[in-house]
């Protein structure tokens, strides 16, 4: 094979490839209602799929439209097929851009726009790689299929649909991550620990509410609790928090008046991604530990239930531990590293306390085992354990493929 020839062919695509990235990026293929015929993810995603398949067809490839859920582009044949899995949908455009998110403007050697790297640019590079191999006349041992999904960002229903209708490739890769290659993905499971508490009346330091985090996959940098000052003055509370702060590395705690007879305690940590929790300091876990050490909670006895018990149990079962050791779910293997466990969301509204954990487990891990072990630790203390995809649904679903150690 003459690789110089291949290099020259690839180089000759440069301007056209850039122009096509700009064209694809100009289509705001954000999933949106209403769904239409052959457009389950809305009109703009449909338009993006039409554009992509038309471009591929113009290069002489065979294309298929899988009812608007995905498209695929095939070249060559053999007893096996290699897949390249990319996607055409993008997350909402969002604010704070320095360039038009649909403009594809070039500045400092970069193309700016939503989808340039995730994942329209890589999808087009894969398509042009197929075109280069075809143009160079390289003999193919196997078939190649570029699969372009339309629902990667919101639930992967595109690939479930595709796999239900067509045979998946024998092997493949996804040009949708970090350079140069990620060859293992951790499994992902969200667990919700919860307990209905017994109220606060009469407690020495009653806790009325807890709040930390908005997303399970972020290490929360701030956590707040509203507590009662019936039996303790604000000065005394602040002094005790200062003692707790001194006793723990990285603890930052403060208290401020919050209306009649109440104070708000704030724990301050450091944000990080749940896949790399070691880089952060979990404020929610810090708050639980601080409240436990204050003896704050409900009037219920240690054994009789109530939020005091629940706060102490959560502090003991999770706290600031991101390895899952306290919950009894820690595991590690040489290939994929250690399990990570992030307390991403903490809520208490005076009735139910709940903690949402983002758990990423290595190849040696297993969803049923994690759920079972967590329940074994949490259930005797009266905590319920359920799995959840997101705080909005709290339904049970897990996935080995959609959560990676590096993909955001």
3-state SS class at 20: helix
Q: What is the dihedral of CA 385, 386, 392, 398, to 10 degrees?
A: 130
118 counts as binding Zn ion under rule CB under 5 A = yes
Query: Which of 72/118 has CB closer to Zn ion?
Result: 118
Q: Of 159-167, 173-181, 222-230, 243-251, which part binds Zn ion (CB under 5 A)?
A: 173-181
The answer to whether the CB of 346 falls within 8 A of the CB of 211 is: yes
CA distances to 31, 330, 394 from 324, rounded to whole Å, are: 35, 5, 21
Q: Of 9-17, 114-122, 177-185, 391-399, which part binds Zn ion (CB under 5 A)?
A: 114-122
Query: Which of 115/305 has CB closer to Zn ion?
Result: 115
Q: Which of 55, 72, 89, 151 is catalytic?
A: 89
Identify whether 50 is a catalytic site residue: no
Q: Using the rule CB under 5 A, which residue among 55, 72, 89, 119 binds Zn ion?
A: 119
Q: Of 137-145, 169-177, 196-204, 224-232, which part binds Zn ion (CB under 5 A)?
A: 169-177
158 counts as binding Zn ion under rule CB under 5 A = no
3-state SS class at 316: helix
- Supply the minimum distance, in Å, between the C-beta of residue 19 and Zn ion: 22
Query: Which of 158/176 has CB closer to Zn ion?
Result: 176
The answer to whether the CB of 355 falls within 8 A of the CB of 317 is: no
Half-sphere exposure of 353 (CA within 13 A, CB side): 27
- Supply the minimum distance, in Å, between the C-beta of residue 215 and Zn ion: 17
**Strand 340-348 and strand 262-268: pairing?**
unpaired
Query: Which of 119/200 has CB closer to Zn ion?
Result: 119
Identify whether 321 is a catalytic site residue: no
Which of 312, 310, 283, 282 has the alpha carbon at shortest distance from 295?
A: 312
- Supply the minimum distance, in Å, between the C-beta of residue 114 and Zn ion: 11
Which of 113, 85, 112, 101 has the alpha carbon at shortest distance from 176?
A: 85
Instruction: Report the site for Zn ion in 333-372 (rule: CB under 5 A).
Output: none
Which of 264, 328, 268, 317 has the alpha carbon at shortest distance from 292?
A: 317
CA distances to 51, 112, 331 from 106, rounded to whole Å, are: 22, 6, 45
Q: Using the rule CB under 5 A, which residue among 55, 72, 151, 176 binds Zn ion?
A: 176
Residue carrying structure tokens 């053999």: 78
- Supply the minimum distance, in Å, between the C-beta of residue 395 and Zn ion: 23
Half-sphere exposure of 44 (CA within 13 A, CB side): 15
185 counts as binding Zn ion under rule CB under 5 A = no
- Supply the minimum distance, in Å, between the C-beta of residue 119 and Zn ion: 4
Query: Which of 118/151 has CB closer to Zn ion?
Result: 118
3-state SS class at 336: coil
- Supply the minimum distance, in Å, between the C-beta of residue 49 and Zn ion: 16
The answer to whether the CB of 403 falls within 8 A of the CB of 186 is: yes
Q: Which of 72, 151, 152, 200 is catalytic?
A: 152
Q: How many residues of this chain bind Zn ion (CB under 5 A)?
A: 3
Which of the residues are catalytic? 89, 152
The footprint of Zn ion (CB under 5 A) covers 118-119, 176
């Amino acid at each position: 094979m003459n690789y110089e020839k291949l290099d020259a062919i690839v180089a000759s695509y440069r301007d056209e490839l850039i122009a096509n990235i700009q064209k694809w990026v100009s289509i705001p293929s954000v999933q949106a209602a209403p769904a239409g015929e052959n457009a389950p993810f809305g009109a703009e995603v449909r338009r993006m799929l039409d554009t992509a398949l038309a471009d591929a067809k113009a290069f002489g490839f065979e294309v298929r439209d899988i009812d608007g859920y995905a498209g695929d582009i095939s070249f060559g044949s053999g007893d096996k097929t290699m897949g390249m899995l990319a996607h055409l949908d993008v997350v909402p455009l969002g604010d704070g851009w320095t360039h038009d998110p649909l403009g594809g403007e070039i500045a400092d050697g970069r193309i700016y726009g939503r989808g340039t790297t995730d994942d329209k640019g890589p999808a087009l590079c894969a398509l042009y790689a197929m075109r280069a191999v075809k143009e160079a006349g390289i003999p193919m041992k196997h078939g190649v299929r570029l699969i372009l999904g339309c629902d990667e960002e919101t639930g992967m229903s595109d690939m479930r649909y595709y796999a239900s209708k067509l045979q998946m490739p024998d092997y493949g890769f996804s040009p949708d991550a970090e350079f140069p290659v990620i060859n293992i993905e951790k499994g992902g499971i969200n667990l919700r620990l919860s307990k209905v508490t017994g109220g606060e009346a009469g407690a020495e330091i009653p806790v009325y509410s807890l709040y930390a985090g908005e997303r399970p996959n972020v290490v929360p940098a701030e956590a707040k609790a509203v507590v009662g000052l019936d039996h303790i003055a604000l000065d005394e509370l602040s002094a005790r928090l200062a003692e707790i702060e001194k006793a723990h590395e990285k603890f930052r705690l403060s208290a401020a008046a919050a209306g009649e007879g109440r104070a708000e305690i704030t724990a301050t940590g450091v944000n990080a991604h749940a896949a790399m929790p070691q880089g952060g300091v979990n404020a929610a876990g810090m708050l639980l530990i601080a409240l436990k050490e204050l003896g704050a909670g409900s009037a219920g006895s240690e054994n009789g239930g109530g939020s005091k018990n629940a706060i102490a149990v959560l502090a003991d079962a999770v706290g600031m531990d991101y390895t899952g050791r306290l919950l009894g779910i820690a595991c590690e293997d040489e290939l994929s590293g250690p399990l990570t466990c992030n307390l991403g969301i903490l809520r208490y509204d005076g009735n139910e306390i709940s903690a949402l954990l983002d758990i990423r487990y290595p190849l040696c891990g297993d969803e049923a085992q994690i759920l079972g072990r967590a329940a074994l630790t949490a259930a005797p203390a009266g905590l319920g354990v359920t799995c959840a995809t997101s705080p909005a649904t709290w339904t049970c679903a897990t996935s080995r493929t959609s959560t990676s150690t590096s993909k955001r």
